[in-house]
Amino acid sequence: MKKFLLIFIVATLVILACKSNATSVTNVVTISLEPKSGSEVKGTATFTEKNGFVILEAKISGLKPGVHAIHIHEKADCSAADASSAGGHWNPTFKKHGKWGEAEHHSGDIGNFTTDTYGNGTVYFKTDKWAIGGTDVTKDILNKGLIIHENPDDFTTQPTGNAGGRVACSAIIK
């Protein structure tokens, strides 16, 4: 009887563990940034969705040392030489441009990052306001564009943040 009870408990724990892993399924999209506007900027960005959060991790090189803006734009189209084909900032909730977490902001207003003296930078951003796919168009980042800007975002100029030229672009697609 003790042996049967032990087997039952172990089996129950295995089933529960499998169910909890099923609810924390990870969805991942990795993209490559291509140079735009005559720049030599390149890099990769990975979006990982797990447990209701999306994490953006990007590694970028070829920038001037200093501060640069990064935004999600409304279209997954990097065909124009200056990446203007990606449209404006992704703004499905029709908010003013601003700084994430401190003021009204677009869903695509990720913010600024700093590069080292060699022009290399990294971005880490985590939010529960995005999703990789799904039915909520106000959260779905698929089929949008990821843009690296030449300058920092000032978080006030409407609707762009006065971030300057688009020096790298990639479509966020699976």
- Count structural domains, the chain: 1
Regions of the chain where pLDDT drops below 70: 1-25
pLDDT at 26: 86
pLDDT at 13: 44
In a domain, 20, yes or no: no
CATH number of domain containing 150 = 2.60.40.200
- Distance between CA 94 and CA 138 in Å, rounded? 10
For residue 159, whether the previous peptide bond is cis, meaning omega lies within 30 degrees of 0, is: yes
pTM for this entry: 0.85
In a domain, 10, yes or no: no
Q: What angle do CA 8, 10, 13 make, to 5 degrees?
A: 110
* SS3 call for 72: strand
Q: Determine what percent of the chain falls in helix, strand and coil, rounding each to the nearest 5.
A: 15, 35, 50
Structure-block tokens of residue 51: 């447990």
Q: Which helix (H) or strand (E) holds 66?
A: strand 66-73
In a domain, 84, yes or no: yes
pLDDT tens, 80-123? 999 999 999 999 999 999 999 888 999 999 999 999 999 999 99
Amino acid type, 3: K
